[in-house]
Amino acid sequence: MSFSGDVKNELCGVEPKKDCCLRAECYGAWLFSRCFSAKESAFVTESGPVARRMLELAAAGAGVSGELAYAFSRQKKPLYRVTLPEAGQRERLLAAFGHQAGRPGLRINRAALENECCTAAFLRGAFLTCGACTDPQKEYHLEFAVPHSTLANSLYTLLGEVEVLSAPPAIAPRKSGYVVYWKDGGQIEDLLTFLGAQQASMALMQVRMYKDARNDINRKANFETANMDKTYSAAARQVAAIAALSDAGRLGALPQELQDLAATRLEHPEMTLRELSAALGISRSGVNHRLRRLLELGERELQNR
Ligand SMILES: [Zn+2]
3-class DSSP assignment, residue 142? strand
* pLDDT (tens place) for every residue of the chain, 305 residues total: 799 999 999 999 999 889 999 999 999 999 999 999 999 899 999 999 999 999 999 999 999 999 999 988 888 888 999 999 999 999 999 999 999 988 778 999 999 998 999 999 999 999 999 999 999 999 999 999 998 999 999 999 999 999 999 999 999 999 889 999 999 999 999 999 999 999 999 999 999 888 877 777 777 777 767 776 666 678 888 888 888 888 888 888 999 999 999 989 888 888 888 999 999 999 999 999 999 999 999 988 888 87
Q: From residue 179, give the alpha-carbon distance in Å to each of 43, 64, 175, 210.
A: 19, 29, 10, 29
| Distance separating alpha carbons of residues 238 and 244, to the nearest angstrom | 10
CATH code for the domain in which residue 130 is found: 3.10.28.10
Ligand 1 center to residue 119 CA distance, Å?
A: 7
Q: State the CB neighbour count (10 A cutoff) for residue 229.
A: 10
DSSP E strand boundaries for the chain: 42-45, 67-72, 78-83, 131-133, 142-146, 170-174, 177-182
Residue 231 sits in which domain range? 224-304
183 with 230, same domain?
Answer: no
Q: Report the DSSP beta bridge partners of residue 82.
A: 43, 68
User: Does a structural domain hold residue 291?
Assistant: yes
184 with 273, same domain?
Answer: no
Q: How many domains does the chain have?
A: 2
| Distance separating alpha carbons of residues 41 and 28, to the nearest angstrom | 17
Ligand 1 center to residue 200 CA distance, Å?
A: 23
pTM score, whole prediction: 0.72
| Distance separating alpha carbons of residues 120 and 104, to the nearest angstrom | 26
For the chain, count helices (H), then strands (E): 11, 7
Which residues does 293 contact at the CB level (< 8 Å), separation at least 6? Answer: 258
Ligand 1 center to residue 115 CA distance, Å?
A: 5
Q: Which residues line ion ligand 1, judged by CB < 5 Å?
A: 18, 20-21, 115, 117-118
56 with 120, same domain?
Answer: yes
